[in-house]
Chain A
Amino acid sequence: MAAMKPVLYSAAISSCSYRVRIALSLKGVEYEYRAVEWNDTDYEKINPIKYVPALQDGDILVSDSLAIILYLEDKYPQHLLLPQDLKRKALNLQIASIVCSSIQPLQCYAVIGLIKGKLGPDESLQIVHHYIDKGFRAIEKLLEGCDSKFATGDEVQLADVFLAPQIHAGVTRFDIDMSKYPHLERFYKAYMEIPAFQAARPENQPDAPSPPQ
């Protein structure tokens, strides 16, 4: 009997889901896409914290993009995303962590605050800009002098998988001026040439909203 494909619970707009879609594509893992709506009550049974993404792979359910990607690293070791070298591995994890702990959750807070009416549009954008700027400037510092094709070398690695969706959100939703972050701007242009990244883009997902007429 053929093994079932993993199922990815995802939302097109979610940058956390975008990270996992990139990782799955890079590793050539075919998966079934299941879109999760914003206020999907059934989803709570699958993922108690109600965030997307989550991956069902056989009898294993993993939620949280970092946990999923580290699971994929073990289960599907083709196109490894973490190097053996401990310093470069730590750098990848540090950059990923800046994105997933110090930028995205605060950005999410600002967006939800706006939707719930707790924050005005200017205040919401101010928060987003503050945290993206702080995180991106720190990453630029960490990568000072870097002349490799991607963040930690000439191969796409974990840092890139986390950076691409965050930069994409910054550029398409929050009007971030990427010229302030020359390394990240250069990497982003390179990411957009890669089929695995293109396939994972929010606009290319089954639940992407139709463009306005």
Chain B
Amino acid sequence: TERCRGPLLHWLPATNQSELRMASAEAPAARPILYSYWRSSCSHRVRIALNLKGIDYEYRAVNLLKGEQSDPEFMKLNPMKFVPALVDGDAVIGDSYAIALYLEDKYPQRPLLPQDLKKKALNIQIASIVCSGIQPLHNLTLVRFIEQKVGTGESIPWVQQQIDRGFTAVENMIKGCAGKFAMGDEVQLADVFLAPQIFAAVTRYQTDMVLHFHLLSSPQLYLSLSLMN
């Protein structure tokens, strides 16, 4: 297993001496464990969130090409046989959306969702476009099915179409609020979901990002976010 050398939680300053004494007297909490595949954009989302929040975690690789997601032990963690899965103490959570929102509650430092209801809703919508409207439609099983049943070579234009439709919708939604990032000048949940999707689109599906002005304008920032792990 790879070990992630992210920043440790104890660099956060305690507000007074008694807190410091209590913290050192308690047994150190076990680090959360992230089950991840290096190339999975869903895992990628959670890695970004963990890094942004400065959460030290243990990385356990699940090799999807070798079918390790079908190991009975992994299936106990996520019966959908998907990465990512997070084990945090006695919490076992599959699904990147559920994990991201759990991290928001459990580790409120560096919040990914704003208080303002309109902006919060926009973040959730953009995350949903990625994780319900784009990514599942280039799921490997479906792509193989399209290649077999609809025709060889049919899957690439199909995937590009889904990506294009989703990104166009996101472009519409962030008009007027995009800054350095999708929702302004701070990274928010929308970016956590967008960055891996853009990364996959550009590196795996030959997406022409010229059409997506706002999303293109920060490719270096997105790439540096995505390469933080």
Seen from chain A, the residues whose Cβ lies within 8 Å of a Cβ on chain B are 48-49, 51, 60, 62-64, 66-68, 70-71, 74-75, 86-87, 89-91, 93-94, 97-98, 100-102, 104-106, 109, 113, 118-119, 123, 127, 130, 134-135, 137-139, 141-142
Contact = CB atoms under 8 A, between A and B. Distances in A.
By CB atoms of chain A within 10 A, which of B80, B90, B145 has the most? B80
A63 B149 contact: no
The 8 closest A-B pairs by CB, nearest first: A141-B79, A49-B169, A93-B98, A48-B172, A67-B124, A138-B79, A94-B98, A67-B125
B121 A60 contact: yes
B56 interface: no
Contacts of B82: 102
A66 B129 CA distance: 11
B128 A64 contact: yes
A90 B102 contact: yes
A49 B106 contact: no
Given A93-B98, A105-B137, A62 B166 contact: no
A91 B94 CA distance: 9
Contacts of A134: 80
B121 A105 contact: no
Interface of B: 75, 78-82, 90-91, 93-95, 97-99, 101-102, 105-106, 117-118, 120-121, 124-125, 128-129, 131-133, 135-137, 139, 141-142, 145, 149-150, 165-166, 168-169, 172-173
**What is the predominant secondary structure among interface residues of chain A facing chain B?**
helix
Nearest to A130: B141
A158 to B, nearest CB: 11
A93 B79 contact: no
B173 A48 contact: yes
A138 B145 CA distance: 21
Contact of A119 (B78, B101, B149, B173): B149
Given A49-B129, A87-B90, A98 B149 contact: no
B132 A105 contact: yes
16 contacts: A49-B169, A64-B125, A70-B121, A71-B117, A86-B91, A90-B102, A97-B95, A101-B131, A101-B132, A101-B135, A102-B80, A106-B136, A134-B80, A138-B80, A138-B81, A142-B79
A138 B80 CA distance: 5
A67 B94 contact: no
A109 B142 contact: yes
A101 B136 contact: yes
A135 to B, nearest CB: 7
A139 B106 CA distance: 24
A211 B75 CA distance: 43
B131 to A, nearest CB: 5
Given A63-B125, A87-B91, A135 B101 contact: no
B91 A93 contact: no
A93 B97 contact: yes
Given A64-B125, A67-B121, A109-B137, A119 B150 contact: yes
Contacts of A74: 117, 120
B29 to A, nearest CB: 14
A71 B128 contact: no
A138 B94 CA distance: 11
Given A70-B121, A90-B93, A94-B95, 6 more contacts: A48-B173, A60-B121, A71-B117, A86-B102, A90-B101, A138-B80
Nearest to A108: B137
Nearest to A16: B132
A68 B120 CA distance: 11
Contact of B136 (A48, A102, A113): A102
A127 to B, nearest CB: 7
